[in-house]
Chains A and B, each alone.
Chain A
Amino acid sequence: NAGVTQTPKFQVLKTGQSMTLQCAQDMNHNSMYWYRQDPGMGLRLIYYSASEGTTDKGEVPNGYNVSRLNKREFSLRLESAAPSQTSVYFCASRAKEWTGSGNTIYFGEGSWLTVV
């Protein structure tokens, strides 16, 4: 059981380059998330998808786009990378919106992105 899988694990980009972070979950979860983690700032939500075909902005969406390709996959795209986007990115998923025991968010292992 792989859980939440994200690729690549490490990436170095030049300013202005574009790239896509891929994420897939095999738990049949409805909701998927992209967070970024910066030192001393915890995890901040970039984008959220409640279900296939829907996406919503989180706390820090500027400079990013997302695609919920199907129920399993949720990708994050940087169209023109900037040094301020140097961070660790985490994809996550959750089973249900707000009932029962479905509140647990499961995180992937993270993607370390450096923009030079």
Chain B
Amino acid sequence: GENVEQHPSTLSVQEGDSAVIKCTYSDSASNYFPWYKQELGKGPQLIIDIRSNVGEKKDQRIAVTLNKTAKHFSLHITETQPEDSAVYFCAASVTARQLTFGSGTQLTVLP
């Protein structure tokens, strides 16, 4: 089955700096790659997603890039703010039935 590895497990950045979280996946048939943000005590919430026919997608300060050849995708957050502090999960999907999640990255934005 699919295996998703996520790095780093923890990341601290100064407010205003950029943050990058990277994921690799094992199944070349995967074609859907969402990113979720989980705040303390809450359920994960989708922040951005990308399909395998697209190399990059942006939504304000958030962007995701996908390299199908290398089987990796990344989340980029620019101009980080304290409210960006949370756990971020990447995921990959071959079929719509199952998302395989990475192990999560705890992002801390320091004031």
The residues of A with any CB-CB pair to B shorter than 8 Å are 4, 31, 40-45, 48, 50, 56, 58-59, 90, 92, 94, 96-98, 103-110
Cβ distance A56 to chain B, nearest Cβ, rounded Å: 7
State whether A43 and B98 are in contact (beta carbons under 8 Å apart), knowing that A103-B32, A103-B49, A104-B49 are contacts in the complex.
no
Give 1 or 0 for each of B25-40: 1 = CB within 8 Å of chain A CB. 0000000101010000
Considering residues A4, A94, A105, which has the most beta carbons from chain B within 10 angstroms of its beta carbon? A105
B90 to chain A, nearest CB (A): 9
B42 at the interface (CB under 8 A from A): yes
Question: Does B111 count as interface, using CB distance less than 8 angstroms?
Answer: no
How many whole Å from B98's CB to the nearest CB in chain A?
A: 6
Binding site for A on B (CB under 8 A): 1, 4, 6, 9, 32, 34, 36, 41-46, 49, 89, 93, 95-99, 101-104
Cβ distance B31 to chain A, nearest Cβ, rounded Å: 9
Residue of B nearest to A50 (CB): B97
Do A90 and B44 touch (CB < 8 A)?
Answer: yes
The smallest beta-carbon distance between B9 and chain A, in angstroms, is 7
Query: Which listed residue, B41, B49, B97, touches A56 by the CB 8 Å rule?
Result: B97
Q: Hey, which chain B residues are within 8 Å of A105, CB to CB?
A: 34, 46, 99
Q: Are B103 and A40 in contact (CB under 8 A)?
A: yes
Q: Please state if B42 and A109 are interface contacts (CB–CB under 8 Å).
A: yes
